[in-house]
Structure 1
Amino acid sequence: MDAKTEPFHAVPAEVRPYLTELVRRTRAVCGSRLTGVVAVGSLALGDYRHGRSDIDVTVLVEGPPEAATLRALAHALDHRQLPCPAAGLELVVYAADFARVPSGEAGYLLDLNTGAQLPGRTAFDTAGGPSFWYVIDRSVAHQDGIALYGPPASQVIAAPRPTDLYTAIQASVREHSDGEGHLADNRVLNGCRSVVYCRTGRWFAKRDAAMQVATEEEDFRPLIEAAVRSFERPRAAALPLPSPQVRTFLGWVRALVDENAAAAGA
């Protein structure tokens, strides 16, 4: 194993061969420009669920590289070339200099979504798209990212400024409140994560956050427990949740997040 690579025992056994090959292909395409490969999302927070969760990866490159290199990387990691064993791969490439500095921008060079259960996406331009997903992911990466290649994540990915992060959380809650394109259980559990972040200043896995909120907010406990039961099933077998209760819960989440954002100056 390369001296710059953290042992892959930090990720679940079901995805180790895939991630090993992903790093190999990324190194082959990016060469000496590659600074780091970091597992984020549910892998980083210790709540990856095989058959339900995505594999979230952040790649850092010096340069930035030529457009042809980014296109070659997208091709090499496409599900049709490297089948993803999870619901899908969500991979984001940043310039290393960008990632080292706090930012509220999307800032990516490549945003790749590929997999059996994900709508395909290959984007090289951030114009017109939301930035909040990327800001939150970088916050999680700084806190708990797993370095699959390169230095520890906290050394190469800066934590966003509180004002930028709370602006991103507000945008996330608004999108989940609208509900379009999101499973009901994910809407509720992401709401729980936002609440717990506001209360603790740390990101927790969805089910851990749900347990905390269910314990403290008795009125919402049945809905949250139902969301957890649904989340523990495959995506195709997710359970329906009562829409009025989901909207009421997310309205409460939104008010709490707005209050904390105002206190942070967002």
Structure 2
Amino acid sequence: MTDILADPHLLPAELRPYLDALVRRARTVCGRHLTSVFAVGSVALADYRHGRSDVDVVIVVAPSLPAQALRELAESLAHSSLPCPAAGLELVVYNSDFIAAPSSAAGYLMDLNTGPLLPNRVSFDPADSSAFWYVIDRSIAHETGRLLFGTPVRQVVAAPSRRDVHAALLASVREHAGGEGHLGDNRVLNGCRAVAFCRTGRWLAKREAAQMIAKSEEHFAPLIDTALRSFEHPRTAALALPTTDVRAFLAWVGDRVEEAATRTPC
């Protein structure tokens, strides 16, 4: 079978057959309406950890895609139809007109979560979801998105404004501070990545960001080191982190994001 993926050698070996099948199914369902398919998240940041990481994928389609095709695509890519080898698949479909302009909205046509460790969920209404996740993913996509098929990422995706990214990061910190539905290590490592972005203006992999923050903030280093050790385990074997320490760390992260936001031109 001929490779369909762009630069398959740059992808984790465990994911290549799956991503190849995902792109083929997207092409079959979307046909000429398919513009691009690319990876974001840990795959884009070269920090994918098999057994722990999700696969984050964005599909961009022409506005002329029939609405029924979205439902067909969700059925075709569901874990029951195409088993996901990672912890889960988080896939978002955007209209090419929407994603070509900066936006603070969720703005998706379809949001699909599926996989062995993710609850199956599909939404066709962006009002169902908190917008900040999508703003962050589009920012990562513009900077580091890894093309799987179609038109190059930066020709398709506009970078959200820095102000919108800071607002999204602050909303993310508040979400993680609540703790519900999030592993302790991921709450800490996402917090590290938020501060690293505010300091550098670049998206770093979670582990790289954590090492940066642990080095500069010695009083948080024990907590961050524990989060890093936990991140080496599968999700089902994650270490428990002290709730009080995690909340104190995230409060500090929130303050750093707010400070960065005040320095950002409107």
- Relative to the length of structure 1, the TM-score reads 0.97
1:264 aligned counterpart, secondary structure? coil
Whole-Å separation in 2 of the counterparts to 1:135 and 1:72? 26
| Unaligned 5+ runs, structure 1 | none
How far has the Cα of 1:66 moved from its partner?
1.9
CA RMSD in angstroms, aligned pairs only? 1.2
What is the match of residue 77 of structure 2?
77
1:56 aligned counterpart, secondary structure? strand
**Is the contact between residue 5 and residue 150 of structure 1 (CA under 8 Å) also seen in structure 2?**
no
What is the match of residue 32 of structure 1?
32
Whole-Å separation in 1 of the counterparts to 2:245 and 2:154? 38
2:14 aligned counterpart, secondary structure? helix
What is the match of residue 210 of structure 1?
210
Matched letter for residue 62 of structure 1:
A
What is the match of residue 228 of structure 1?
228
Runs of 4 or more above 4 Å deviation = none
**Is the contact between residue 185 and residue 230 of structure 1 (CA under 8 Å) also seen in structure 2?**
yes
What is the match of residue 22 of structure 1?
22
What is the match of residue 146 of structure 1?
146
What is the match of residue 181 of structure 2?
181
The Cα offsets for residues 31-88 of structure 1, whole Å up to 9 and x where unpaired, read as 0000000011000001000000000000000024222100000000000000000000
Whole-Å separation in 2 of the counterparts to 1:118 and 1:247? 25
Map residues 190-201 of structure 1 onto 2, 5 A cutoff: 190-201=190-201
How far has the Cα of 1:162 moved from its partner?
1.1
**Is the contact between residue 41 and residue 56 of structure 2 (CA under 8 Å) also seen in structure 1?**
yes
**2:6 pairs with 1:6:** yes
What is the match of residue 219 of structure 1?
219
| Unaligned 5+ runs, structure 2 | none
What is the match of residue 114 of structure 2?
114
The Cα offsets for residues 103-154 of structure 1, whole Å up to 9 and x where unpaired, read as 1100000000000100111000011421000000000000110110012212
1:13 aligned counterpart, secondary structure? coil
The Cα offsets for residues 180-204 of structure 1, whole Å up to 9 and x where unpaired, read as 1100000000000000000000000
Report the identity percentage. 59
Whole-Å separation in 2 of the counterparts to 1:23 and 1:96? 17
Matched letter for residue 203 of structure 1:
W
How far has the Cα of 1:13 moved from its partner?
0.2
**Is the contact between residue 52 and residue 235 of structure 2 (CA under 8 Å) also seen in structure 1?**
yes
1:158 aligned counterpart, secondary structure? coil
The Cα offsets for residues 148-194 of structure 1, whole Å up to 9 and x where unpaired, read as 00122122111101111111111001101111110000000000000
